[in-house]
Amino acid sequence: MELRDLEKMGRCPNCGKEAIQVIEAKPGETVVTCMNCGAARHYDDADEGVGVQATFDDALPKG
């Protein structure tokens, strides 16, 4: 399984600043880490993942 790391500018829900958000798409979960404050958010693929889809929809690999 190939892992892909993505970076995208976005507003961090933790520190509230526009900063690079590193998106790691792993099997079973997506981890988004803020490069400003270092906060990592884990989104389980079994959940609806609304937060990731709403914020990073165009950065996530399709299919």
34 binds Zn ion (CB under 5 A): yes
- Amino acid symbol at 5: D
Binding Zn ion by CB under 5 A: which of 29, 36, 41, 59? 36
Q: List, in sequence order, the alpha helices (H) in the chain.
A: 50-56
User: C-beta of 62: minimal distance to Zn ion in Å?
Assistant: 26
CB nearer to Zn ion: pick between 29 and 36: 36
Q: How far is CA 10 from CA 24, 26, 63, in A?
A: 15, 20, 23
User: C-beta of 19: minimal distance to Zn ion in Å?
Assistant: 6
